[in-house]
Chains A and B, each alone.
Chain A
């Protein structure tokens, strides 16, 4: 079980990273989403894995899983929705504004700007 979760985190991280390094906005957004999954699962797993012991208090039950990572991940999931929405909006705005969905800035010419000439006092 531990290996499954760990390898799932690994696979999600690897695929997420690969997609984040692509050149167009949409795959980058997808990659960010995959990385978000990886991070969420990773955080969740920091409470260690427990099967069939949800943190709902009941009489006579003594073992519960760790509730704190769950609470943290719950808000993280909701926030990550907000984040995804914002970057999607930015990507969309950039695409609609310039008709180009490349992530990188277009290459500039490397000549540094001339120093603004200051007036002689």
Chain B
């Protein structure tokens, strides 16, 4: 339906296109890069879009009946339409960068289509090979296109096409030409990149018929035609393009002749015909271009029909091996007629369209001189035609003619009309154009003039069946007769072919790929050997080297700030921090001790924050410190308590040197900038000036968090939530793996306390709970004007809840936990987001805040800002994330043989029934 709509849409532009107009649509996408979404519909684009959409419709109808019941049709048609869209994009885009994007899209979607039957190894390998080759070509084309854009100074195709002289005079013309041709040749399977196309035949037949007859392989041809006005005509162009085309044509036809697989035969014949078209474009004359355009149309019709026929034969007989077929004309008469007409057209038999363009091709070769030998091109072209005729005859003769056999893998018969109608429609076109070429002439001439642009005048020649007794006709006769002779001698020829040594392109390809993989391994393995410590050292050294380079080459200014003299207290604090940090290095093997030491470091850092006018930071740091230590303690519960000595003295010295260098670097850098003013005026002046006026709060840090940089904060809350969910997910995975059994049967490595939930602690935490919640609430409310806010309040409340877990046990606490933490995180993010969205309703940007003052009579007037609502979101996000992480950790700690009591206290004076285990446990505790 999409294709049909697009086709109808395309048809609606027929009058304008036939009037020679160029329709454009423009939409600026990334104007800074010169990448704009500009579309252009001229006759050439129309011609290709017509082929793509028209044949696309037939293919979709055909595929509907071709695919088996178990194939996933939705997936198939999604890929197919993706591909079709990308193709149409290529032919219609007016911006070469946009064209490149569509170009790569076709490579990707064709990869998906070729590998559609994922269970077949050939499909996967063929898809991979196609992707490697066309992707590589795409890369080089990007380079070529960029050079072209640089030369002209615009990436608009319509501008580039008008600068022929400028481009051809540029010294970069040859590299650009080579790179672009590389892209075209890989896509259109030209020698020496022809080998991927036959391997792509592992795809379902509709894909082969669509991609490899009418569309994808024509993309390279299209581009050559598109760029014809600016690139063609130079000696380099003629030499490269004509040679490649000629070799491809002869070689493709030769290989096709000896292929036994119907689709492989057709694939190589496609390669051969693409070579023919390339060669015609390469001659660089107007007549050659016209012949090329005509042959594109003819080839699309008969080759697509033939592919569909091959699909039908495969579908009905369950084999595509020509050696196992024959005599099908009795069993599949309709298919036989279609196939014969299409194949004869391909062979160049009069009254069919293939004959006309082949005549034009031969005519053109007579005027082409390559390497100074005028006979070379016509002779090779005749040989190519001869071989081409031969494989066409073989296709008809060995598949449909001959005696009826009785060993078909499946009894063949004509398929339903859904399958034979699409190729039949194409064959009608084949015959119509062949009999009455004047019908197609205006259209072909129009397209040709679009190809030529301003570079050359439209040729005077007309399309007709009878050109008179000229040399081309004799060449044609030689080809057809020669083809019949080859057919007659086929058996001995085949024997000779099989005996002859010949390079298999796929082996070479595999060898090249294997070599590059080995090379990449050799380069990566020594650097990337899975040793994290080595990466760490390499990274540290790199950063140091970069820093040193910047230091050595940069300029500096003398200090502008006076050094402030520290008092006794800061020095003592510094001493404690340094002692703790150095102590960690010396004593890090005792893990519990290092945990205590790092807590001292954290404490000193937070005190430092208070001292240096950052109360918010200090509060955050100290609360985070508490939860981090709890977390690490929980982790240490499972990890070994000591780190054994493993690294050698040499290694420790090396690490020590790296560490010292890093430390000296960091110290030097901070000392340097602490003594100088900022290079540019910081934005903070603005924040200080507008915090109260614009944000309604006098705590500037908090206003920055919830207002000026609210979007950052929003993102950070989301990140925190994701981290917590990740921890939860990891815990779940751990608990559903064999690790769970090990955890449950774990023997504690240290004696446990007998009273797991001491009465004193339970009572104390329960008393503290409301106080802690109150403090959290208070900190939250004052946050906008005094130190505090959502982050800190969230942490305080989390600590209050964690205390309950610690004192009263996991089961008791989680049984009283009414809202799941996931939900709390989610609601936090939602509330923050909705607050931000709320500003849309008063047509302000996302996260604009507003505030006002409210006074409920007995109380002092207080302020309400939307920012507070945002802060509430932050608060909920933090509580949920912290609690979810800690909860996940403590879930690991539950053990099987310790049935946790649902009572908060093991010994509860108000309870009459003393659980026996609890008493026993407490007795055991006393003994230990």
Using CB atoms and an 8 Å cutoff, list the residues of chain A in contact with chain B: 1-30, 33-34, 37-38, 40-42, 44-58, 64-68, 70-71, 73-75, 77-86, 88-93, 95-97, 101, 103-108, 110, 112, 115, 118-121
Q: Give B586-608 as 1s and 0s: 1 = Cβ < 8 Å from A's Cβ atoms.
A: 00100100110010011001001
Most A CB atoms within 10 A — which of B504, B609, B791, B878? Answer: B609
B contact residues around A90 at 8 Å (CB): 730
Nearest residue, chain B, Cβ from A54: B613
With A22-B588, A67-B701 given, is the CB distance from A30 to B594 under 8 Å? Answer: yes
Closest to A80 in B: B624
Of B601, B617, B628, B682, the contact of A74 (CB 8 Å cutoff): B617
B522 to chain A, nearest CB (A): 9
Question: Which of B307-315, B737-745, B828-836 contacts the other chain?
Answer: B737-745
Q: Write out the residue numbers on chain A whose beta carbons fall within 8 Å of the beta carbon of B878.
A: 78
**CB<8 Å pairs between A and B, sample of 26:** A1-B566, A2-B561, A2-B563, A2-B674, A6-B668, A8-B574, A14-B664, A19-B588, A21-B658, A22-B643, A40-B605, A55-B699, A57-B700, A68-B682, A71-B704, A74-B617, A81-B882, A86-B726, A88-B632, A89-B731, A89-B885, A91-B635, A95-B639, A104-B534, A121-B198, A121-B506
Is the Cβ of B688 less than 8 Å from the Cβ of A67? yes
The reply to whether A3 and B671 contact each other, CB–CB distance below 8 Å, is yes
Q: Bits for B518-551, please: 1 = Cβ < 8 Å to A, else 0.
A: 1001000100011111101100100000000000
Asked, given contacts A4-B574, A9-B670, A110-B525, whether A18 binds B885 with beta carbons under 8 Å apart, the answer is: no
* Inter-chain contacts of A84 with B (CB < 8 A): 628, 631
- Nearest residue in B to A65 (C-beta to C-beta)? B613
Cα-based distance from A46 to B699 in the complex (angstroms): 20
B678-705: CB near A (< 8 Å → 1, else 0) gives 1000111001100110000011110011
The yes or no answer to B673 lying at the interface (CB within 8 A) is yes
Our pick among A21, A55, A79 for the contact of B701 (Cβ within 8 Å) is A55
- A73 to B624 CA separation, bound complex (whole angstroms): 13
B121: Cβ under 8 A from any A Cβ: yes
What is B's interface to A at a CB cutoff of 8 Å?
121-122, 125, 198-199, 504, 506, 510, 514, 517-518, 521, 525, 529-534, 536-537, 540, 561, 563-566, 570-571, 574, 577-578, 581-582, 584-585, 588, 591, 594-595, 598, 601-602, 605, 608-609, 611-617, 620-621, 624, 627-628, 631-632, 635-636, 638-640, 643-644, 646-647, 655-656, 658-660, 662-671, 673-675, 677-678, 682-684, 687-688, 691-692, 698-701, 704-705, 709, 712-713, 716, 719-720, 723-724, 726-727, 730-731, 733-734, 737, 739, 742-743, 785-787, 791, 795, 878, 881-882, 885, 888-889, 892
Inter-chain CB contacts under 8 Å: number: 331
Who on chain B is nearest to A10 by CB? B667
Residue of B nearest to A41 (CB): B605
| Chain B residues within an 8 Å CB radius of A55 | 613, 688, 699-701
Q: Which residues of B contact A44 (CB under 8 A)?
A: 609, 612, 614, 617
Residue ID in chain B nearest A38 by CB atoms: B666
- Contact among A77, A95, A115 with B624 in the assembled complex (CB-CB below 8 Å): A77
* A14 and B577 form a contact (CB under 8 A): no
Q: Which of B585, B594, B682, B742 has the most CB of A within 10 A?
A: B585
Partner of B785, one of A11, A14, A56, A67: A56
Q: Are B598 and A96 in contact (CB under 8 A)?
A: no
Complex contact B584–A15 (CB within 8 A): yes
Q: When the two chains form their complex, are residues B525 and A92 in contact, meaning their CB atoms are under 8 A apart?
A: no
| CA A78 to CA B720, docked complex, whole Å | 8
Q: How far is the CB of A30 from chain B (nearest CB, A)?
A: 6
Residues in A with CB closer than 8 Å to B743 are 96
Whole-angstrom CA separation of A115 from B504 in the bound complex: 18
* Residues of B close to A48: CB separation below 8 A: 561, 674, 677-678
Chain A residues positioned under 8 Å from B677 (CB to CB): 48
Known pairs A13-B667, A15-B582, A71-B701; list 4 more (Cβ under 8 Å). Answer: A13-B662, A17-B655, A50-B613, A56-B787
- Chain B residues with Cβ under 8 A from A71's Cβ? 701, 704-705, 709
Contact A24 B614 (CB under 8 A): no
Is the Cβ of A78 less than 8 Å from the Cβ of B624?
yes
Assuming the contacts A10-B667, A66-B684, A104-B531, asked whether A85 and B658 have C-beta atoms less than 8 A apart, the reply is: no
Whether the pair A68, B667 counts as a contact (CB closer than 8 A) is no
Docked-complex contact B620 and A34, CB < 8 angstroms: no
Q: Are B674 and A21 in touch, CB under 8 angstroms?
A: no
**Which of chain A's residues have a CB closer than 8 A to the CB of B671?**
2-3, 6-7
The 7 A-B residue pairs with the shortest CB-CB distance in the complex, in nearest-first order? A14-B663, A10-B667, A105-B530, A82-B723, A6-B671, A18-B659, A57-B698
The reply to whether B674 and A19 contact each other, CB–CB distance below 8 Å, is no
The reply to whether B716 and A6 form a contact with Cβ atoms under 8 Å apart is: no
Q: Which residue of B lies closest to A101 (CB)?
A: B639
Chain A residues near B514: list those with CB within 8 A: 115
- How far apart are the CA atoms of A13 and B666 in the complex, in Å? 7
Point out the residue from B570, B601, B638, B669 that lies within 8 Å of A92, measured CB to CB.
B638
A119 cross-chain contacts in B, Cβ below 8 A: 121-122, 125
A14 → chain B closest CB, angstroms: 3
The answer on a CB contact under 8 Å between B704 and A68 is yes
Give Cα A51 to B682, complex, Å: 19
Give CA–CA (A49, B566) in the complex, Å.
12
Let me know if A70 and B616 touch, CB within 8 A: yes
Q: Are B521 and A11 in contact (CB under 8 A)?
A: no
CB neighbours (8 Å) of A105 from chain B are 529-532
Contact A41 B608 (CB under 8 A): yes
In the complex, which residues of chain A have a beta carbon less than 8 angstroms from the beta carbon of B712? 75
- Known interface pairs A8-B578, A30-B594, A112-B518; A17-B540 also in contact (CB < 8 Å): yes
| Contact yes or no, A11 B727, CB < 8 A | no
Residues of chain A within 8 A (CB-CB) of B882 are 81
Cβ–Cβ < 8 Å partners of A73 in chain B: 614, 617
Would A77 and B621 be within 8 Å (CB), given that A2-B674, A19-B584, A51-B611 are in contact? yes
What is the CB-to-nearest-CB distance from A89 to chain B, in angstroms, rounded to a whole number? 5
Residues of A with C-beta under 8 A to B518: 112
From B513, which residue of chain A is reached at the shortest CB distance?
A: A115
B742–A74 CB distance below 8 A:
no
Q: Which of these, A8, A24, A27, A49, contacts B577 with CB under 8 Å? A: A8
Q: Which residues of A have CB within 8 Å of B122?
A: 119, 121
Residues of B within 8 A of A108 (CB): 529-530
Chain A residues with CB under 8 Å of B620's CB are 74, 77-78
Residues of B within 8 A of A26 (CB): 591, 636, 639, 643
Checking A34, A58, A86, A104 against B533 with a beta-carbon cut-off of 8 angstroms, the contacting residue is: A104
Residue in A closest to B706 when the chains form the complex, CB atoms: A71
Give Cα A34 to B702, complex, Å: 26
B726, closest chain A residue (CB): A86
Min CB gap B747→A, angstroms: 14
Q: Please indicate the chain A residues that have their CB under 8 angstroms from the CB of B664 in the complex.
A: 10, 14
In the bound complex, CA of A71 to CA of B656 (Å):
34
Q: Is the CB of A34 within 8 A of B591?
A: no
- Give, as a whole number of angstroms, the nearest-CB distance from B562 to chain A: 9
Residues from chain A with Cβ under 8 Å of B885 in the complex? 82, 85, 89
Whether B585 lies near A18 (C-beta < 8 A) is yes
* In the bound complex, CA of A74 to CA of B692 (Å): 20
How far does the Cβ of A61 sit from chain B's closest Cβ, in whole Å? 11
Find chain B residues with CB under 8 A from A18 CB.
585, 655-656, 658-659
- Cα distance A33–B588 in the bound complex, in angstroms: 13
**Residues on A with beta carbons closer than 8 Å to the beta carbon of B723:** 82-83, 85-86
Q: Cβ of B612 and Cβ of A51 under 8 Å apart?
A: yes
CB-defined contacts of B688 to chain A, threshold 8 Å: 55, 57, 64, 67
CB A101 to nearest CB in B, in angstroms, measures: 6
What is the bound-complex CA distance between A53 and B613, given in angstroms?
5
CA distance A63 to B564 in the complex (A): 16
B699 touching A56 by the CB < 8 A rule? yes
Most buried by B among A40, A50, A51, A81: A81
**Cβ–Cβ contact B608 & A86, under 8 A:** no
With a CB–CB cut-off of 8 A, which chain B residues contact A4? Answer: 566, 570-571, 574
User: Contacts of A52 on B, CB cut-off 8 Å?
Assistant: 613
Cβ contact of A19, chosen from B517, B585, B617, B646, cutoff 8 A = B585
